[in-house]
Structure 1
Amino acid sequence: MLTYDVLIVGSGGAGLYAALKSRMEEDLHVAVLTKVYPTRSHTGAAQGGVNAALANKDRTDTWEDHWFDTVKGSDYLADQDAAELMCREAPQVIREMEHWGCPFDRTKEGKIAQRPFGGASKIRACYAADKIGHVMLHTLYEQGLRHGVNYFNEWQTLSLLHDGQRCLGVNALDIRSGKLHTIQAKAVILATGGYGRIFWTRTSNAYGNTGDGAALAYRAGLALKDMEFVQFHPTGLRRTGILMTEGARGEGGYLLNALGERFMSNYAPEKMELGPRDLVSRAIETEVREGRGGSDGEVFLDITHLGKERIAKRLPQIRQLCIDFEGVDPVLEPIPIKPTAHYSMGGIHTDFNGLTPIEGIYAAGEAGCVSVHGANRLGGNSLLDILVFGRRAGVHALEYARHTEFKPMPKEALAPAETCIKALTDGDSKETIADIRKDMGDLMAEKAGIYRDAAGLTQAVAGLVELKARYKRLKIKDKSNIFNTELGAALELGNMLDLAQVIAQGALERAESRGAHYREDFTKRDDKEWLKHTLATRNSDETPKLHFEPVTITRFQPEARTY
């Protein structure tokens, strides 16, 4: 049996930072278990910037300004103590990344360059052209190799093992051989990213973003928090949902409807295109609904006025993506875009160190929910989240593992994984992964997307029960062991269906509009009844059980958001 002091599941920015910090004591054995090669993780798709109040561009910026912008952007659902901690520590983690060699763009004075981002009152997004996630990911992976972190690439985690009080480890599938393994660990950090693929093709997320860590925690009895809050980024490519960075608007890009009107003046007259993402996405959806969109339900992101030289320097990846996936050169013509499911504000309920109620089990990054984003995340705060809380989880897990002994692993520890695989491989059925997955994506996009109401959400809840019943009849046709991609897709589909139920049930219960959660039958924010977090645990019948906890308010009293 494989044994590690600290095991990180997931190899994005949060996981790699956590692994690096866990490995700072060289006598500890640390490993990263990931279903993809680490530098293919979805952090690499982040384009625009990472927030920190360095005051390099705007000398008046402070961490307190950043804190207020974050709380306001969250529609006052963020826990203010958690948001304060993140904004205070932001300059520290950026400087640490800089010292490790992360190649940020620079000002003429040699300082880290910063650009405007949506919902921010000051210029604070640190960037590297339009490839910030890519350079961060490679920097962290390089440092992990240097410090002796072990990597299990192309392994899929199937179950989280604990005795009710303490972590024991995980069960995992070696995708390359098809063999099942139990891995013993004093501490496990879940850093598997978000679950945008629940909306299937209407998402900017990679195919691997199927909420694996959140689903593992949910089935292990841990609570998921604020799952109904799913952010739709305003600017995804029309056909594929591929992200067009907020940095394009930060550089001065315009949003135009099919009539050529710069319509954001009707929705955010001060901030215009740099309003918060929930507001801009609803504005686009409203333009399309009212007949001012294109023939395919799109509007347009126009950066032609920036000029070829500036686009080549600041937005080179954006240009290439447009040419490759839309056949459009943004130097010459506007980019057709639609809102796309982009970020999961909800996740595994944790404290400031990523710790869950079970000793030794942590979550960090998009898989976790410390509640720094509340009902709507500001652009540039996701990469900051993975750095601050990946770092804190790694440091805390290191200290925990140093002072903890391994607990004996039960002989039957592998049984749940074996049962799961057997259920999917035995027998035969006409149900297919592709059909169930498409039906799930269509249902969630239509009934639990940008605009929601009780009737649609009730249909979503009922439809997901039916889809789960179909999933239980699913039998995969590929019985091979080596690189069985059909088995992997089936396991991911089960994870997504579990989480989709939590999203839909939470959205149905929350009878208000707040941030990314917009109810057409309850259009106002209701602080009296709903200034609280949704927590979901799993019933014995596999449906979500919801309860609620108050939001932590330390300084900023809720007020109307205007931009």
Structure 2
Amino acid sequence: MTTTASLSKRKFDVVIVGAGGSGMRASLQLARAGLKVAVLSKVFPTRSHTVAAQGGVSASLGNMSEDSWEYHFYDTVKGSDWLGDQDAIEFMCREAPKVVYELEHFGMPFDRNPDGTIYQRPFGGHTANYGEKPVQRACAAADRTGHAMLHTLYQANVSAKTTFFVEWMALDLIRDASGDVVGVTALEMETGDTYVLEAKTVLLATGGAGRIFQSSTNAFINTGDGLGMAARAGIALQDMEFWQFHPTGVAGAGVLLTEGCRGEGAILLNSNGERFMERYAPTLKDLAPRDFVSRCMGQEILEGRGCGPNKDYIHMKLDHLGADTIHKRLPSVYEIGVNFANVDVTREPIPVVPTIHYQMGGIPTNIHGQVVERFNGEDRPVNGLYAVGECSCVSVHGANRLGTNSLLDLLVFGKAAGNHIIANVNPKQEHKDLPKDAADKTLARLARLDSAKNGEYAQDVANDMRAIMQTHAGVFRSQESMDAGVQKINALRERVGAIGLKDNSKVFNTARIEALEVENLMEAAQATMTSAAARKECRGAHLVRDYEHDVNHPTCPLGRNDAEWMKHTLWYQDGNKLDYKPVRMKPLTAETVPPKPRTF
């Protein structure tokens, strides 16, 4: 019988779980400082999901139009529907130009203006002069910005001699008796062997959990592994009811078409050929924030003005931009149109529908990337544990993320976490002792899977989970539907516990990996459904028909209830229970942006 004592062990100063943009920005900082770093990734680093980001990274450079970090700060607070913490938002927006110029110096191949400065395009919700007009703030490399960023960071990490563990899956956090995180357990896919990786610090950078939904722009690797690890270790998941539906997923395929399309001038049309966003958002039109545009598209479809034989999608028109502009600025969009919709976007519109894209919630952290726990009404850092990127919730996105703020988030907080770890980890200091039962829970999970040969097939359970989430936590929600979703997801947890393996081989056993991923997806799905059903208001991406026209709150359109619900949700796996904490309204140096109705 395998025991903790018999497992192979390796020691590092820092173990980073995830090799996307946030993980590699942090690892670069750490490797350059001389720390011994291990970066675990389920796929080769340049295949991490950051590669799918298309439109740009936001920064108030002012290369194309008047801009300032204060305008960026205001837009992000407003975009978050006042659920974002204003101190964290200010920190991100002030740091934005610095991290973009650093990335440029690493070799990032941004598009250029004639004067050699970085090209910037408009994006939804980004404005000048506090909402008066759109601004060009998205620093872009055609429509492959994430791809270029990931390769740039990987090359810089190779130069810095970062150690990568490719095709490894982290399984569980190891906490000692005092609650400090002292390492992780991990599975090497090539051999099927389980390891204990000791670390003075663990940093989670595992990305989102978008595969809990049926229709998603997310890669199949986005299974919320960091969320699952944190939840099983007793750490809360924050604001999981808030999921962003991107307005322009390819109808029937879910593949993302960047918001950069609309930034370059694409428009949305209903079956009458009407540019309907002019009715809903007369100032920003098609460049309103994503939650707003997605709801407007959904409303057009619900009212019978959808396109196609079933009137179930919207047309996005790009041909008026000209073939030269499309091939120069949006080459991937052209390729996606041909490959996934059989449409030549230089000649005809492409069918699009809102598609799940991004989780605003995640593992609660402070601006240094430290994971925090609630203790006597205050946030207290968990010693030895950090989280950055989409798996974390700092919270700069609140109830709705502005486009291009995701790539900025991972750069700013990846670097910030790296700097904080450097300041607090002594390479010469000894590791803390591992608890004797360090890997026991992990080994028990693996043993249960291997012994349940007549158990359920993991993907059957996962497909049922995705169907439940798509039905009960979609763009439009109702209290009755969410309550039913909670019951269904709670029942599904028992089926997750009954998953088994018919193949117990060790080498590249993908069935075992999928089963472990479904366990992580379960944590994200239950956190989402439970948190959503408990929030009795509309805010950002959380629109509940029951509260949409709440007469008790006439000053808040769409039923936002600031008096009772301007607070963060905390979901705990133990007991499937909820707690709450206040939104931080006071910025670091700027004036507070008080809540008001969101109009565009």
Instruction: Mark the CA change 1:358 to 1:135 in structure 2 (over 3 Å): closer, same or farther.
Output: same
SS of the residue aligned with 2:526? helix
Choose the corresponding residue for 2:285, options 272, 284, 293.
272
Q: How does 1:305-384 map to 2 (within 5 A)?
A: 305-356=320-371, 357-384=381-408
**Residue from 192, 201, 223 that aligns with 1:178:** 192
Contact 1:23 1:398 (C-alpha < 8 Å) held by counterparts: no
2: CA distance, partners of 1:552 / 1:484: 48
- Provide the residue aligned with 2:433 in structure 1: 408
Partners in 2 of 1:547 and 1:53 — Cα distance? Answer: 33
Is the CA contact (8 Å cut-off) linking 1:156 and 1:172 kept in structure 2? yes
Q: Could you report, residue by residue, the CA deviation over 1:284-334 in whole angstroms, capped at 9, with x for unpaired residues?
A: 111111111133511111101111111000000011011111111111111
Equivalences for residues 190-201 of structure 1 within 5 A: 190-200=204-214
Deviations 1:399-426 (A, max 9, x none): 2222753101133322211111111121
**Residue matched to 2:268:** 255
- Give 1:254 deviation, angstroms: 0.7
Q: Is the 8 A contact 1:352 1:389 kept in 2?
A: yes
1:65 maps onto 2:102 in alignment: no
- Contact kept in structure 2, 1:424 and 1:475, CA below 8 Å: yes
Following TM superposition, by how much is the alpha carbon of 1:462 offset from its aligned partner in structure 2, in angstroms? 0.5
Q: Which residue number corresponds to residue 313 of structure 2?
A: 298
User: Are 2:83 and 2:583, in contact at CA under 8 Å, matched by a contact in 1?
Assistant: no
Once the two structures are superposed, what CA deviation does each residue of 1:190-209 show, in whole Å capped at 9, x if it has no partner?
00001111003x11000011
* Residue 170 of structure 2 corresponds to residue 130 of structure 1: no
Query: Which of the numbers 54, 58, 62 marks the counterpart of 2:61?
Result: 54
Q: Is the contact between residue 158 and residue 170 of structure 1 (CA under 8 Å) also seen in structure 2? A: yes
Unaligned runs of 5+ in 1: none
Give secondary structure in 2 for the equivalent of 1:56. Answer: coil
Query: Secondary structure of 1:329's partner?
Result: coil
TM-score under structure 1 length normalisation: 0.97
Listed one character per residue, the Cα deviations across residues 249-275 of structure 1 (whole Å, up to 9, x for unaligned) are: 000001011222111112111111100
- 3-state secondary structure, aligned to 1:358: strand
Distance 1:352 1:475 in 2: 40
Corresponding residue number in structure 1 for 2:125? 119
CA distance in 1: counterparts of 2:508 and 2:599, whole angstroms: 51
AA at the equivalent of 1:285: G
User: Quick check: 299-308 or 161-170, which moved more?
Assistant: 161-170
- Number of residues paired by the alignment? 558
Deviations 1:464-488 (A, max 9, x none): 1111111111112121111111111
2:378 counterpart residue number? none
Question: Contact between 1:194 and 1:343, CA under 8 Å: does it hold in 2?
Answer: yes
Residue 229 of structure 2 is aligned to residue 231 of structure 1: no
Query: Could you tell me which amino acid in structure 1 is paired with residue 111 of structure 2?
Result: D
**CA–CA distance in 2 between the matches of 1:289 and 1:551?**
37
Provide the C-alpha distance between the structure 2 equivalents of 1:533 and 1:171, rounded to a whole number of angstroms: 30
Aligned to 2:476, the other structure's residue is in SS state coil
Where does residue 528 of structure 1 map in the other structure?
Answer: 563
Letter matched to residue 568 of structure 2: H
1:128-167 to 2 correspondences below 5 Å: 128-163=141-176, 164-167=178-181
Q: Structure 1 residue aligned with 2:82, among 59, 63, 76?
A: 76
Deviates more, 1:432-441 or 1:127-136: 432-441
Give 1:427 shift. 2.7
Structure 1 residue 167, shift from structure 2 partner: 1.8
* Residue number in structure 1 paired with 2:226: 213
Contact 2:223-2:517 within 8 A present in 1 as well: yes
| Secondary structure of 1:108 counterpart | coil
SS of alignment partner, residue 375 of structure 1: coil
Q: What SS is found at the alignment partner of 2:544?
A: coil
Shift of 1:430: 5.6
Question: Quick one: which amino acid aligns to residue 9 of structure 1?
Answer: V
Contact map agreement 1:476 1:486 (CA 8 A) in 2:
yes
The range that moved more, 270-279 or 548-557, is 548-557
Task: Please say if 1:245 is aligned against 2:258.
Answer: yes
Determine if contact 1:538/1:545 at 8 Å carries over to the other structure.
no
Q: What is the match of residue 25 of structure 1?
A: 33
The match for 2:422 among 376, 398, 405 is: 398
* AA aligned opposite 1:384: L
Residue 91 of structure 1 deviates from its aligned partner by 0.4
Contact 2:367 2:413 in 1 (8 A): yes
Residues 28-39 of structure 1: pairs in structure 2 closer than 5 A: 28-39=35-46
1:186·1:360 contact (CA, 8 Å) conserved in 2?
Answer: yes
What secondary structure sits across from 1:124 in the alignment?
Answer: strand
My pick for the range that moved more, 286-295 or 399-408, is: 399-408
Q: How many angstroms does 1:544 deviate by?
A: 3.5
CA distance in structure 1 between the partners assigned to 2:367 and 2:219 by the alignment: 27
Contact 2:531 2:578 in 1 (8 A): no
Distance 1:266 1:430 in 2: 53
Equivalent residue of 2:126, what SS? Answer: coil
1:136-173 superposed Cα distances (whole Å, 9 cap, x missing partner):
00000001010011000000111001114322100000
CA contact (8 A) 1:360 1:397 kept: no
Structure 2 Cα separation of the partners of residues 284 and 206 of structure 1: 24
Confirm or deny: 8 A CA contact 1:534 1:549 kept in the other structure: no
- The answer as to whether partners of 1:323 and 1:329 remain within 8 angstroms in 2 is yes
Residues in 2 aligned to 1:370 and 1:215: alpha-carbon distance in whole angstroms: 18
Alignment of 1:458-477 (within 5 A): 458-477=483-502
SS in 1 for 2:547: coil
The aligned residue for residue 585 of structure 2 is 552
RMSD, aligned CA: 1.2
Name whichever of 331-340 and 381-390 sits farther off.
Answer: 331-340
> Are the equivalent residues in 1 in contact too, given 2:455–2:501 (CA < 8 A)?
no
CA separation in 1, counterparts of 2:136 and 2:332?
22
One-letter amino acid matched to 1:113:
Y
Greater displacement, 9-18 / 449-458: 449-458
**1:546 partner amino acid:** D
Where do 5+ consecutive residues of structure 2 fail to align?
Answer: 1-8, 128-134, 372-380, 549-558
Partner of 1:105: 111
Residues 231 and 342 in structure 1, CA contact (< 8 A), matched pair in contact too: yes
CA distance in 2, matches of 1:389, 1:92: 12
Q: Is the 8 A contact 1:502 1:544 kept in 2?
A: no
TM-score normalised by structure 2 residue count: 0.91
Amino acid at match of 1:396: H
Does 1:281 pair with 2:294? yes
> Does the 8 Å CA contact 1:173/1:179 hold for their aligned counterparts?
yes
- 1:161 is aligned with what amino acid? I
Query: In the alignment, which residue of structure 2 is the partner of 1:44?
Result: 51
Output the amino acid matched with 1:284: M
Match of 1:15 among 15, 19, 23: 23
